[in-house]
Amino acid sequence: MILENAPALAIGIPLFAAFAVFFIGKIGKRAMKAWVVAGLLAAEIFVIWLTMDAVSGISHFYAVGARFPSIISPGGFPIRIVLAADAASTLVALVAMSACLLAALFSFSFLKEKNAGEKFYSLLLLLSAGLVGLSFTGDFFTMFVFLEVVSISSAGLIAFFREEESFEATFKYLVLSSIGALLLLFGVGMFYGKYGLLNIGAIAALVAVEASFIDFAAVALIASALLLKCGSFPVHMWKPDVYQKASGIVSAVLVASGLVGIYVLFRILFLMLANTPLSAMIGWVIAIFGTISIFIGVTMALKQNSLKRLVGYAAVAETGFVLLALGTGLAAITTRDIFSFKAVVGGMFQLVNDALNIGLLFLVIAAVAFVTKKKKVGEVNGLAHKSPVLAVLFLIGLLAISGMPPLNGFASKIIIYESVYMASPVFSIVGILGSIMLLAIFVKVFVAIFLGPPYKGKIEPLPKSMLLVMGIIAFFILFLGLFPKQAIEFVFLPAANALVNSQAYIGGIL
């Protein structure tokens, strides 16, 4: 019975935990921490269970509030709020949930001195519920609600520590994301006006029969809102600002939230456009956006002085890789070439790697700031003498992000280069050059912070919880890098299959 309700519980448990943190916080700090970890861990277990089921071919579709949770549609289409947990959505939910769980573990010793209590965890739990909801939802209006939940809670988290100028970044983020969400709602309204439906699968089934201008306009509005969420080229400006001003922990979670945005974007595009002539055009537009994101991210990262801003631009470039791969996959889907599917596999792989690599870099930066008590990490140098662990972790992160062989970034990027090269050599070459530039940039940063004469200032010992979290991420980076074939066969092939195969999704919901 409990497992039957797993898709709803994965959203409901963090939501309820967020509401109840206030009461548990009255008991004591220790109880509150235990409550937060328990809530996130329970949701994480449900998501892992769903992922295991989904990759072995059993997708779960769940109707909230129904007499029977499995889908029942008396009028030919489901009128309830539907949650869809197939291989692609569970993979993304797993990434988001793990990011929130690890960020919560990481923040325990970090927040001790900042004296920030239940409100931070309340927002974090709310964000995790919003992200899982966004990836599971099979209903357009719920998507809007979860998008706003994510926007509001992440805006609260960005401004939480009230470091100077973080308000400005938060304001920028909130303005852009609320405009995006309203555009999405406008597009959803168009779909509702035409079909009288809000269910994504049901609408996709109707669009596949007779697609008209209204549908494309609605898809364009929704796509622009989600591109804004993931911070790709035309609307990438908020990303470096926010990542620079927010705390490293929050940035690591925000990376995952951007990736959920990419997944939702492509879920909708694959569902709505797969059988129309527009798929090639939209696919190429997004691939071009991705390529320009790579170019802008790398070139702007070159001239940054602030380390967090630099990683923020690197995150824009990494987002570009995912968009390039998935966009190429969408563009070539009508020709049914093998490389289009391969590009989607590479995109899903890169999506996970993006969260791991950028997340690790942000967490290492937060840890460096924690042990040295410096506000500007750029002023630190020669830290490798005092804290070799951090140096090794940063090295792993930078090699992974720039796609060096034994690590996960190489495994995913080589697939992307190969498959994109078949469709368009230029984009592939821009990608390779961008990756090499990233290596140059990060080696420079590494030398500046960790090498050189030994660090003179006092450093605090690195707390065990931080080490554990970064160790887990580094382990997964190494694991995915050393056994990419097994990982692809086990997780990413089913995920790409679920994303591309729109009939399975529609059939599951109807």
Partner 1 sequence: MSKEMSPIVKNVACVLAIPIIIFGLYIILHGHLTPGGGFPGGAIMASLVALFLIAFGTGWAKKINKGILSWGESIGLALFGLLAFLGLGTSFFNNFLANSNSLFGMSIPFGPNQGFLWTGGTIPLMNIAVGLEVFAALSIIIPIMFSSDESSKEGKK
Partner 2 sequence: MIDLIFLAVIALIVIGLYAVMFKRNLIKIVVGINIIGSAVNLFLVSLGYRSESIAPIFTGTESLNMALATPQALTLTSIVINLAVTALMLSLVIMIYRHYGSLDTLKRRLKE
Interacting residue ranges for partner 1, rule: CB under 8 A: 1-2, 5, 8-9, 12, 15-16, 19-20, 22-23, 62-69, 119, 123, 152-153, 156, 159, 162
Give whichever of 135 and 357 is closer to partner 1, judged by the CB atom.
Answer: 135
Instruction: Indicate the DSSP class of residue 492.
Output: I
Instruction: Indicate the DSSP class of residue 235.
Output: G
The reply on whether position 170 binds partner 2 by CB under 8 A is yes
Cβ–Cβ under 8 Å, residues 235 and 316:
no
Which of partner 1, partner 2, none is residue 5 near (CB under 5 to 8 Å by kind)?
A: partner 1
Which of partner 1, partner 2, none is residue 141 near (CB under 5 to 8 Å by kind)?
A: partner 2
The reply on whether position 156 binds partner 2 by CB under 8 A is yes
User: Closest separation between CB of residue 177 and partner 1, Å?
Assistant: 15
x/- mask, partner 2, residues 84-123, rule CB under 8 A, reads ----------------------------------------
Which of partner 2, partner 1, none is residue 479 near (CB under 5 to 8 Å by kind)?
A: none
**Distance separating alpha carbons of residues 496 and 70, to the nearest angstrom:** 24
Q: What share of the chain is helix, strand, coil (3-state, %, to 5)?
A: 80, 0, 20
**Distance separating alpha carbons of residues 162 and 157, to the nearest angstrom:** 10
Stretch that binds partner 2, among 105-113, 143-151, 225-233, 336-344 (CB under 8 A): 143-151
Cβ–Cβ under 8 Å, residues 215 and 207:
yes
Q: Show the DSSP H helices in 137-237 as ranges.
A: 140-158, 166-195, 200-209, 213-230
Instruction: Indicate the DSSP class of residue 25.
Output: H
Segment (H or E) for 413: helix 408-423
Widest CA span in the chain: 73
**Distance separating alpha carbons of residues 473 and 418, to the nearest angstrom:** 27
Give whichever of 64 and 429 is closer to partner 1, judged by the CB atom.
Answer: 64
Output the CA–CA distances (angstroms, integers) from residue 441 to 148, 294, 385, in the order listed: 35, 14, 22
Q: Residues, the chain, total?
A: 510
The reply on whether position 407 binds partner 2 by CB under 8 A is no
Give whichever of 146 and 266 is closer to partner 2, judged by the CB atom.
Answer: 146
Stretch that binds partner 2, among 112-120, 168-176, 243-251, 500-508 (CB under 8 A): 168-176
User: Closest separation between CB of residue 373 and partner 1, Å?
Assistant: 24
Q: Which of 61, 144, 243, 313 binds partner 2 (CB under 8 A)?
A: 144
- The torsion angles phi and psi of 400, rounded to 5 degrees, stand at -70, -40
Give whichever of 73 and 381 is closer to partner 2, judged by the CB atom.
Answer: 73
The reply on whether position 141 binds partner 2 by CB under 8 A is yes
Give whichever of 148 and 318 is closer to partner 1, judged by the CB atom.
Answer: 148
Q: Which of 31, 34, 175, 338 binds partner 2 (CB under 8 A)?
A: 175
438: Cα separation from own chain's centroid? 20
Which of partner 2, partner 1, none is residue 485 near (CB under 5 to 8 Å by kind)?
A: none
**Distance separating alpha carbons of residues 91 and 28, to the nearest angstrom:** 35
User: Closest separation between CB of residue 270 and partner 2, Å?
Assistant: 25
Rg over CA atoms, the chain: 22
Q: b/e map of 284-308 (b: 16 or more CB within 10 Å)?
A: bbbbbbbbbbbbbbbebbeebeebb
**Distance separating alpha carbons of residues 235 and 342, to the nearest angstrom:** 28
Give whichever of 162 and 456 is closer to partner 1, judged by the CB atom.
Answer: 162
Residues between 289 and 348 that touch partner 2 (CB under 8 A): none
Give whichever of 167 and 479 is closer to partner 1, judged by the CB atom.
Answer: 167
Which of partner 2, partner 1, none is residue 178 near (CB under 5 to 8 Å by kind)?
A: partner 2
Closest CA to 55 of 503, 506, 496: 496
**Distance separating alpha carbons of residues 110 and 466, to the nearest angstrom:** 9
The reply on whether position 159 binds partner 2 by CB under 8 A is yes
CB-based contacts of 500: which residues, under 8 Å, 6+ apart?
A: 270, 274, 329, 333, 341, 344
Residues between 423 and 452 that touch partner 2 (CB under 8 A): none
The reply on whether position 163 binds partner 2 by CB under 8 A is no
The reply on whether position 148 binds partner 2 by CB under 8 A is yes
Give whichever of 74 and 277 is closer to partner 2, judged by the CB atom.
Answer: 74
Number of residues that bind partner 2 (CB under 8 A): 28
Q: Which residues pair with 60 in a beta bridge?
A: 85
User: Closest separation between CB of residue 399 and partner 2, Å?
Assistant: 35
Residues between 180 and 239 that touch partner 2 (CB under 8 A): 181-182, 185-186, 189, 192-193, 198
Which of partner 1, partner 2, none is residue 68 near (CB under 5 to 8 Å by kind)?
A: partner 1
| CA-based end-to-end distance of the chain | 23
**Distance separating alpha carbons of residues 24 and 22, to the nearest angstrom:** 6
The reply on whether position 38 binds partner 2 by CB under 8 A is no
One-character DSSP codes across 79-116: -S-EEEE-HHHHHHHHHHHHHHHHHHHHHHHHHHHHT-
Which of partner 2, partner 1, none is residue 466 near (CB under 5 to 8 Å by kind)?
A: none
User: Closest separation between CB of residue 4 and partner 1, Å?
Assistant: 8
Q: Which of 41, 42, 66, 145 binds partner 2 (CB under 8 A)?
A: 145
Residues in touch with partner 2 (CB under 8 A): 141, 144-145, 148, 151-152, 155-156, 159, 162, 164-165, 167-168, 170-171, 174-175, 178-179, 181-182, 185-186, 189, 192-193, 198
